[in-house]
């Protein structure tokens, strides 16, 4: 009989198997000093394109002050219980009302984390008679929520309306037998490629099929739409999104999340979401801090304008330099390259050590073998000069990669020792 721990240490998992070489550099890197677009990594100055801080609110002086004042006033302990029992406050309810107004929904429920929130919302919304139809490239939290579902699930090819149509047909047939209903789940902005969920086309399917639509807009909230209210606003279909979700971890540069919908649906979620009933509610300083961030998003459109100025310059520049960025329509900026995992690691090492550029790298098993994605997250606090430095560096490393300069045997001695 196998011992569980023996089995685990023999197989550390697809990412964990590289931990020995990657830990502290490619994985779990320790960013030092003030974390911002310019910061320090292992003693070296870096230009950072890997922070979830689209609107630059993390270091905004008003945000820092609001966070600090709230921590001073309330401490980190408050509230001391789940929302339903002893964790409610005027501030929690005020933030919910402000979010509802901003995303144009009747009501909102705060969630202590986005990941658990999505899982738990999906779990609460459907029962075993219902069917879930979801996009194949959905974020892990959607996949995990779907995994909890005891009824049938149907996956449609990413953003492919013919595939969605087919799966809706199958789901409709099934629920006619079970007496259940259908929940379609997709994202506003897909965080890896940056392409948008085809919300305009998906809502058109409502003319043909009966279903409710759940949209995870983690990357769209604050960045997309005229007012920053998200991808639904961008497409003009916000009213057709039945359950709207976003995290505070991206544009809001915080922690926590929220779900918005019709009043009675939010009441149902308040009383049925296990991640909220059986867990402590969002700490008071975070709630107060999020109110300040939302106020700034509402009243300072320049934040989003600056973000998009950087996005356009970066994405146009990468394309002009012959780099492939795929179908992104959002600030998420992936650079697609061909190469092996060792080549990707040497290239990222070169970017960090010799060009002072810090970005994330995505390789197999997250994407197919032989592909490398370097993912850049522009923010409102990057500058055009930052973009110019980055374009020059990317142009050079892409040429080196093509010339095979990151192949093992061509690497100058000592590189791996410094990882």
Ligand X SMILES: Cc1ncc(COP(=O)(O)O)c(C=O)c1O
Residues binding ligand X (CB under 6 A): 113-115, 118, 139, 141, 187, 191, 216, 218, 247, 249, 257
Cα–Cα dist 153/135, whole Å: 11
Least Cα distance to 243 among 184, 197, 195 occurs for 184
- The nearer residue to ligand X, 159 or 345, going by C-beta atoms, is 159
- The nearer residue to ligand X, 70 or 118, going by C-beta atoms, is 118
Edge-to-edge, what's the strand order for the sheet holding 31-32? 31-32, 38-41, 44-48, 357-358
Under a CB-based contact definition with an 8 Å cutoff, are residues 331 and 84 in contact?
no
- Whether the upstream peptide bond of residue 97 has omega within 30° of 0, thus cis, is no
Residue with token string 């073998």: 369
The CB density around residue 72, as the number of other CB atoms within 10 Å, is 9
- The nearer residue to ligand X, 135 or 350, going by C-beta atoms, is 135
Cα–Cα dist 238/229, whole Å: 9
Least Cα distance to 133 among 180, 168, 179 occurs for 168
CA angle (334 as vertex; 411, 241 as ends), nearest 5: 155
CB of 263 to ligand X, least distance (A): 24
CB of 362 to ligand X, least distance (A): 13
CB of 346 to ligand X, least distance (A): 28
CB of 211 to ligand X, least distance (A): 20
- The nearer residue to ligand X, 122 or 387, going by C-beta atoms, is 122
Q: At what angle do helices 140-148 and 114-125 cross, to 10 degrees?
A: 30
Tokens standing for residue 256: 């926590």
- The nearer residue to ligand X, 187 or 195, going by C-beta atoms, is 187
CB of 358 to ligand X, least distance (A): 19
Cα–Cα dist 234/67, whole Å: 30
- The nearer residue to ligand X, 113 or 358, going by C-beta atoms, is 113
Which residue's C-beta sits nearest to ligand X? 114
Least Cα distance to 195 among 160, 145, 222, 168 occurs for 160
Q: How far is CA 122 from CA 102, 215, 230, in A?
A: 23, 11, 20
- The nearer residue to ligand X, 29 or 342, going by C-beta atoms, is 29
Backbone angles phi, psi at 375, to 5 degrees: -105, 125
- The nearer residue to ligand X, 347 or 377, going by C-beta atoms, is 377
- The nearer residue to ligand X, 66 or 257, going by C-beta atoms, is 257
Strands 257-261 and 107-111: antiparallel
Tokens standing for residue 361: 């790298």
CB of 210 to ligand X, least distance (A): 26
CB of 370 to ligand X, least distance (A): 25
Strands 360-362 and 371-376: antiparallel
CB of 142 to ligand X, least distance (A): 7
The CB density around residue 31, as the number of other CB atoms within 10 Å, is 16
CB of 398 to ligand X, least distance (A): 27
Residue 280 carries which DSSP code?
B
CB of 417 to ligand X, least distance (A): 34
- The nearer residue to ligand X, 149 or 152, going by C-beta atoms, is 149
Q: Report CA Rg, the chain.
A: 22
- The nearer residue to ligand X, 216 or 386, going by C-beta atoms, is 216
CB of 1 to ligand X, least distance (A): 37
């Amino acid at each position: 009989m196998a011992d569980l721990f023996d089995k685990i240490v023999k197989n550390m998992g697809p990412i964990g198997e590289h931990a020995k070489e990657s830990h502290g550099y490619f994985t779990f890197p320790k960013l030092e000093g003030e974390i911002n677009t310019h910061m320090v990594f292992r003693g070296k100055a870096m230009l950072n394109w890997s922070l979830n801080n689209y609107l630059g609110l993390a270091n905004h002086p008003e945000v820092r002050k609001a966070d600090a004042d709230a921590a001073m006033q309330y401490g980190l302990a408050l509230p001391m219980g789940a929302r339903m029992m002893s964790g409610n406050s005027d501030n929690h309810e005020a933030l919910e009302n402000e979010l509802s107004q901003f995303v144009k929904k009747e009501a909102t429920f705060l969630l202590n984390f986005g990941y658990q929130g999505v899982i738990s919302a999906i779990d609460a919304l459907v029962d075993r008679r219902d069917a879930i139809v979801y996009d194949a490239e959905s974020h892990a939290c959607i996949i995990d929520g779907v995994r909890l579902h005891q009824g049938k699930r149907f996956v449609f090819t990413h953003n492919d309306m013919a595939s969605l149509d087919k799966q809706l047909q199958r789901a409709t047939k099934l629920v006619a037998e079970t007496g259940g209903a259908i929940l379609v789940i997709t994202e506003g902005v897909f965080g890896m490629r940056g392409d948008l969920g085809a919300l305009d086309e998906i809502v058109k399917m409502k003319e043909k099929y009966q279903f409710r639509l759940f949209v995870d807009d983690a990357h769209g909230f604050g960045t997309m739409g005229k007012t920053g209210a998200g991808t639904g606003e961008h497409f003009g279909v916000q009213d057709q999104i039945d359950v709207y979700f976003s995290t505070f971890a991206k544009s809001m540069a915080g922690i926590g999340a929220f779900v918005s919908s019709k009043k009675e649906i939010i009441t149902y979620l308040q009383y049925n979401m296990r991640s909220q009933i059986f867990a402590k509610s969002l700490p008071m300083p975070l709630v107060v801090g999020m109110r300040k961030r939302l106020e700034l998003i509402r009243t300072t459109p320049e934040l989003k304008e600056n973000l998009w100025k950087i996005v356009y310059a970066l994405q146009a520049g990468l394309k002009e330099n012959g780099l492939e960025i795929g179908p992104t329509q959002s600030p998420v900026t992936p650079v697609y390259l061909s190469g092996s995992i060792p080549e990707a690691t040497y290239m990222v090492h070169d970017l960090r050590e010799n060009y002072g550029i810090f970005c994330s790298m995505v390789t197999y098993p997250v994407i197919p073998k032989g592909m490398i994605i370097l993912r850049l997250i522009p923010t409102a606090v990057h500058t055009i000069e930052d973009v110019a430095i980055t374009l020059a560096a990317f142009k050079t490393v892409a040429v080196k990669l093509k010339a095979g300069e990151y192949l093992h045997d061509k690497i100058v001695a000592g590189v791996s020792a410094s990882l």
